[in-house]
Amino acid sequence: MTVWGITMVRDEADIIGATVVNMLHQVDHVLVADNLSRDTTRRILDTLAQRYPGRLHIVTDSDPGYYQSRKMTNLAKVARIAGADWVVPFDADEWWCSRWGTVAEVLHGLEAEYGIVTAELVDHMATSVDPKIGNPIVRLPWRRVKPLDFPKVACRTSEHLVIDQGNHWARYPGGLPVAATPNPHLVVHHYPYRSLEQFIRKVRNGADAYAATDLPEAIGKHWRSWGEMSDDTLRDIYQTWYFVPDPVISRWVGLEEQPPLIHDVPIGVGEWVT
């Protein structure tokens, strides 16, 4: 049984090396579509492809539109044709891992009727006690207590497979019914907003990418609305919602009390991240 990680990326130079190397330790092959990166993302990927020949595959995506569902579904088709039995759709800021072996080993242990596996998604946050430099996976060890309401998925390959926008679900329209199961052994550590500068760059890229599509306005709504805001307003949003002054005490954000964060370094960080 062969497992491929698949992802599409743009301007993720600060984190892409760590997450791709981690996925290479979790699965058999990784397929990355570089979507018009303007930083050193592509250079990092090309260097890693030389380090992992035959296992890391890089393609160029020249379409500026954020058609994530269509593009990820196409990457899954490429992986299936190349021999993949499972695909793990992941974002550049996600660290997949398990305390029960590699992601591939967990998927190998599933019974045949299961085709969609959900993985718990936990958000890491920047805090005032973080070191100022270093790989984000090492630099940002504090995360929210509660997993997000929407999980991530791994999927058996099929000519009918469709990966949904956001990589939070998948479907097999026109194919045989496939059972889905949450897997408590899989966890995805998420590092979406790693600094103020990265937050603003991500907002601008996200807004531009959705503006380049004909998708309904409701899809990517927060990226579109954030994209209309000034840098000063985005700074206020980041400082209020995504930066924690003291991770070990609770805080109020608006009318909601946020509990203290958990110090949680993902499995594998000490082994292959520098």
Could you tell me the CATH number of the domain that includes residue 59?
Answer: 3.90.550.10
Residue 136 lies in a domain: yes
What pLDDT, in 10s, does the model give residues 228-237?
999 999 999 9
Closest CA to 123 of 161, 151, 165: 151
Instruction: Tell me the pLDDT of the chain averaged across its residues.
Output: 95
Tell me if 253 is assigned to some domain: no
pLDDT on residue 165: 94
pTM of the model: 0.95
Q: Examine residue 46 and state whether it is found in any structural domain, yes or no.
A: yes
pLDDT digits (tens, 9 = 90+) for 40-80: 999 999 999 999 999 999 999 999 999 999 999 999 999 99
Q: Between 264 and 132, where is the model more confident?
A: 264
Work out the burial of residue 32: count CB atoms within 10 Å of its CB; fewer than 13 is exposed, 13-18 middle, 19 or more buried: buried
| Average pLDDT of the segment spanning 170-184 | 85
> Is 170 a member of any domain?
yes
Residue 273: pLDDT band with limits 50, 70, 90: low
Residue 259: DSSP 8-state: P
Per the structure, the count of domains in the chain is 1
Residue 166, domain member (yes or no)? yes
**Low-confidence winner among 51-55, 194-198, 255-259, 268-272 (lowest mean pLDDT):** 268-272
Domain containing 155 equals: 3-193+266-272
Torsion of the alpha carbons at 165, 170, 174 and 179, rounded to the nearest 10: -160
Strands (E), the chain: 3-9, 29-34, 56-60, 86-89, 94-98, 114-123, 126-127, 142-143, 152-156, 162-163, 170-171, 179-190, 243-244, 251-253, 256-258, 262-263
Residue 234 lies in a domain: no
111 falls in which pLDDT band (50, 70, 90)? Answer: confident
Is residue 244 domain-resident? Answer: no
pLDDT per position as a tens digit, 80-97:
999 999 999 999 999 999
Task: With respect to residue 107, please indicate whether it lies within any of the assigned structural domains.
Answer: yes
Whose CA is closest to 49, among 66, 22, 30, 68?
30
